[in-house]
A and B are shown apart, each in its own frame.
Chain A
């Protein structure tokens, strides 16, 4: 499978714990995005990387959230001291960053449940 891969698919954690998610983009895609989706809503942008540089962060990304893409390939999203409001689907997308359309392809997501 050469699509965007995310791990784990599901994560259940207790409030206050730290969690980390991983995203492997499509090979050669230099742009990587994280989104969050809650029930009944569309995905909301969290952050964006071009290669290893984090170029944009949403105000949704509080200081408990940190994302990295150390070698410009896979990315991790860490949430510290999780809260019940963090329960959501976390989606990763990647794109080639060429041409007008810059189509983004999404992974299957990591569903987080904070108890």
Chain B
């Protein structure tokens, strides 16, 4: 079983749609959680950290459920520029903060 699992998609949505991605992780000792965004053939860039209480950044909302070991990302009012791969990322306590990435979920927003 992979340490971080995501639905690979692709999710094809029209502009203005709301879309949600989920992710599960296997190690209950996971300490920090993130969503990174990666454009085609580019490096991953931090989209947002994920906090236990849930957090929002503009059109993006992230949730963490430690009991179920699951993380979600909600994107409201999708823009064409949101088209990318969204990587769910965790790090485990005691692991020198190395990041464990999911394989990513592809999002394609069309006009």
Q: Which residues of A contact B (CB under 8 A)?
A: 31, 33, 35, 40-45, 48, 50, 55-56, 91, 93, 95, 97, 100-109, 111
B97 touches A43 (CB 8 A): no
Chain A residue nearest in CB terms to B100 = A45
B59 at the interface (CB under 8 A from A): no
Q: Which residues of B contact A (CB under 8 A)?
A: 4, 8, 31-32, 41-46, 49, 87, 89, 91, 95-104
Question: What's the nearest-Cβ distance from chain B to residue A58, in Å?
Answer: 8
Q: Tell whether A106 pairs with B44 under 8 Å between CB atoms, given A33-B98, A56-B95.
A: yes
Q: Tell whether A106 pairs with B98 under 8 Å between CB atoms, given A42-B87, A42-B104.
A: no
12 extra interface residue pairs, beta carbon distance < 8 Å, beyond A40-B8, A50-B96, A100-B31? A31-B97, A33-B98, A42-B87, A42-B103, A43-B101, A91-B43, A93-B99, A100-B32, A101-B32, A101-B49, A103-B46, A104-B46
CA distance A103 to B87 in the complex (A): 15
For B44, the chain A residues whose CB sits under 8 A away are 43, 91, 106
Which of B4, B99, B103 has the most chain A CB atoms closer than 10 A to its own CB?
B99
A106 touches B97 (CB 8 A): no
For A101, the chain B residues whose CB sits under 8 A away are 32, 49
6 inter-chain pairs at a CB distance below 8 angstroms, sorted by A residue, are A42-B87, A42-B102, A48-B98, A50-B96, A103-B49, A104-B46
For B102, the chain A residues whose CB sits under 8 A away are 42
For A35, the chain B residues whose CB sits under 8 A away are 99
For B91, the chain A residues whose CB sits under 8 A away are 102
Among B42, B46, B49, B98, the residue within 8 A (CB) of A56 is B98
